Amino acid sequence: MSEISLGAGLLRLGLVGSPNSGKTTLFNALTGLRAKVGNYPGVTVERREGELEIDGRRALVIDLPGTYSLEPISPDEAVVDRVIDGELGPAPDALVMVADACTLERSLLLIAQVLRRGLPACLVLTMTDELHARGGVLDIPRFERALGIPVRGVVGHRGLGLAALRELLARPESWSRPPVLPPEPAEERAGWAASVLASALTRRPGPSRASEAIDRVVLHPFAGTLLFAIVMVVFFQLIFVWAVPAMDGIDAVVGWAARHVHATLPPGLATDFLADALIAGVGSVIVFLPQIVLLFTLLFLLEDVGYMARAAFVIDRVMGRIGLEGRSFVSLLSSYACAVPGIMATRTIPSPRNRLITILVAPLMTCSARLPVYALLIGAFVPATSVLGPLRLQGLVLLGLYLLGAFAALAVAALLGRTVMRGESLPFYMELPPYRWPTAKLVATQVWGSARAFLRRAGTVILTVSIVLWCLLSFPRTPAPEGTTPAEASRFALEHSLAGRAGHAFEPLIAPLGFDWKIGVGLLSSLAAREVIVATLAQIYAATDEPGSLRDALRRDVSPDTGRPVYTPATVASLLVFFVFALQCMSTIAVMKRETNGWRWPAFAFSYLLVLAYAASFATHRLVEALVGAP
Amino acid sequence: MSPLEASTPPARAAVSLASLAPGAHAVIQSVDSSTAIGRRLQDLGFLPRTPIHVLRRAPLGDPVAYELRGYRLCLRRVDAARVWVVPTDPAPPASS
């Protein structure tokens, strides 16, 4: 013990444990809301640290990613190993192992590996209440002697045992250490685990009868599938329907604030910037909060209760076909409402490879921001004829667009799994934890953490990009000739802005898709968010607020070169298909950057989706022209 | 080549874990530890002499949920095929 010399400085404690061990609950209980979230370099693994003060001594608790083994089989798993070895920043001074008291027979296999690292270590047993409820009896003093390290029992969500634990954590230099280290080979570790348990676990816990009874229904071939469908429908409703009023409310407040600024401040550049760039930019960040909060409340609730693992179990076969796993389903479904929460939901996918593939295909699911674009184009150009009874052509086209997106997502996922992400395939294993009551506090802490992470890490990017886009659409400022209406002046300013000029400049590039410069400007502005193209087109066509005004303007528009309509059936189809594929959404890009720790994958996603969009639009344009004849 | 073909079943009446029906009890005989996946299965508790109980299949037939070492875990059949077990009669042998 003489080799440990812990200074009076910051004490670094590494929290090690398997998934479902209650490690996160303990971390939150110890550090409260003060967790700092960052990245480990080069991998898609979140780094969570939190400070706490015990007896005047400052300690940094490092929440290591949950793992079942210290023998890594992927670069992401290697993080735990490398942190313990001090390869990613200073090595921890001591390790705090966390294990579910009911699964010690398995957890001891990991505990043995951790003990072999030779750092001062202690063991925190969670779910001790559940152990007792299931009839298990563990003699903690004997357990300490058998392991050779301090052991404390806690009930993390109720805060029981935390005071004693804090006291222990303050003095790792006084922790006892095992006289002999456990053996290394797995089989011998199992023997060691059996002998440790034989001396301390006086009575084994029985099976969790409540969980068994619930599983008989939840995993029943018929009832379980039905329940799965119901949960998913509710999930979908939650973000698609329930979040909308809140988002509309935020939009209304932002719009009111912008108008208020215009009305009260003298007209000029500063006022325009404040109202149209800054306030609108902040609005485009916070508008995501309702669905993020709603989605994560339900997500964490289902996760903490234990249903998420069951849902993944039920749907895994389907997702396995395309090389993904059950947990990807929830994320892709959420992406139907919006890819931003959908991509954030991939955090529940344990396999980094599957998580990345899910993130990369999530933007292909038809999100609600595409609806205004589809509605405009379909409303203007697809006849409202009846195809078969109540089935109308407009509805069928919309359905087709949804299906095209979903099919493309599945196809791309399968393709990525066989190409870019090849050879990183890991075995699929997933624990089915006992059902537990969630606690409001834990769910609230997790939801708050997600919302805060979004605001700080993605929000800043979204705000910056929306300000840059505003500048592109507003500069250089060209005053309109005398006597023009406000709508025409606005159109004039846009046409002479950088974005307007860019639209003209890259017209030759998009001409093969059937797009003119006006659509080009619309596409550029839709980078802010897909539906922005509707407002931009309205500005370009100097359309009024009257409903139908923009639709008529689009229908009437003729090309100055050919004198024929701009929006031919081929162009409309091509533009719709472009919106199915293209990643026209800076918020998605920002959230991808935040979730994958860098620009590499967002850049990849943007590029492949742009290539796909261009190719598909080009093919659609040609095909429709061939079918209906060139104008 | 599937793992089923990749490893040879050891002597005695060992069968692949993937071949057991829900409700079956067995004792693990061996896990191929030459691959990283096999070693991970060992770290998950799939070790010789460990009793294992097949709980149920997912509604679509895969994956399958197992109970061993006091916890429940599901594996896809392709991974379960790496584990060789000796079926036992309904009551699992007392393990401690």
Residue pLDDT, tens place only, A453-494: 778 777 887 788 778 888 888 888 777 777 777 777 777 777
What's the complex ipTM?
0.84
How many other β-carbons are positioned within 10 Å of the β-carbon of residue A324? 28
Give the per-residue pLDDT at A123: 96
Give the per-residue pLDDT at A143: 94
Measured CA to CA, the distance from residue A606 to residue A612 in angstroms comes to 10
pLDDT tier, B1 (very low <50, low <70, confident <90, very high otherwise): very low
Measured CA to CA, the distance from residue B62 to residue B59 in angstroms comes to 8
Q: CB under 8 Å to A556, separation ≥6 — which residues?
A: none
pLDDT top residue among B28 and A483: B28
Q: Is A432 on the interface with B (CB under 8 A)?
A: yes
Give the per-residue pLDDT at A225: 93
Asked if B52 and B85 touch (Cβ cutoff 8 Å), the reply is: yes
List CB contacts (< 8 A) between A102 and chain B: 70-71
Which residues in chain A show pLDDT less than 70? Answer: 1-8, 33-34, 38-39, 41-44, 156-157, 239-240, 422-426, 542-548, 630-631
Q: Tell me the domains of chain A and their CATH numbers.
A: 11-206 (3.40.50.300), 209-365 (no CATH), 454-628 (no CATH)
Residue pLDDT, tens place only, A487-522: 777 777 777 888 888 888 888 899 899 898 889 888
Residues of B engaging A, defined by a Cβ cutoff of 8 Å: 33, 36-37, 39-45, 47-48, 50, 55-56, 58-63, 65, 67-76, 79, 96
Give the per-residue pLDDT at A178: 92
For residue B85, the one-letter residue type is V
Q: CB under 8 Å to A421, separation ≥6 — which residues?
A: A353, A356, A357
Give the DSSP letter string of A389-447.
TTEEHHHHHHHHHHHHHHHHHHHHHHHHHHTTTTT-----EEE-PPP----HHHHHHHH
Token output for B44: 């998950």
Give the per-residue pLDDT at A348: 72
Measured CA to CA, the distance from residue A367 to residue A574 in angstroms comes to 19
Give the per-residue pLDDT at A16: 95
Q: Is A615 on the interface with B (CB under 8 A)?
A: no
Q: Tell me the domains of chain B and their CATH numbers.
A: 14-88 (2.30.30.90)
Alpha helices in A85-222 (DSSP H): 104-115, 128-133, 140-147, 162-169, 186-200, 209-218
Give the per-residue pLDDT at A609: 95
Give the per-residue pLDDT at A33: 66
Q: Establish, for the pair of chains A and B, how many residue pairs have beta carbons separated by less than 8 Å.
A: 115
End-to-end CA distance of chain B: 38
Give the per-residue pLDDT at A266: 87
Asked if B47 and B95 touch (Cβ cutoff 8 Å), the reply is: no
Give the per-residue pLDDT at A425: 59
* Torsion sign over Cα A105, A106, A107, A113: positive
Contact yes or no for A431 and B72 at CB 8 A: yes
| Shortest Cα–Cα distance, B47 to chain A (Å) | 6
Nearest CA-CA partner of A343 in A335, A352, A353: A335
CA distances, A310 to each of A215, A283, A316, A434 (Å): 8, 37, 10, 11
Contact yes or no for A102 and B67 at CB 8 A: no
Measured CA to CA, the distance from residue A136 to residue A202 in angstroms comes to 8
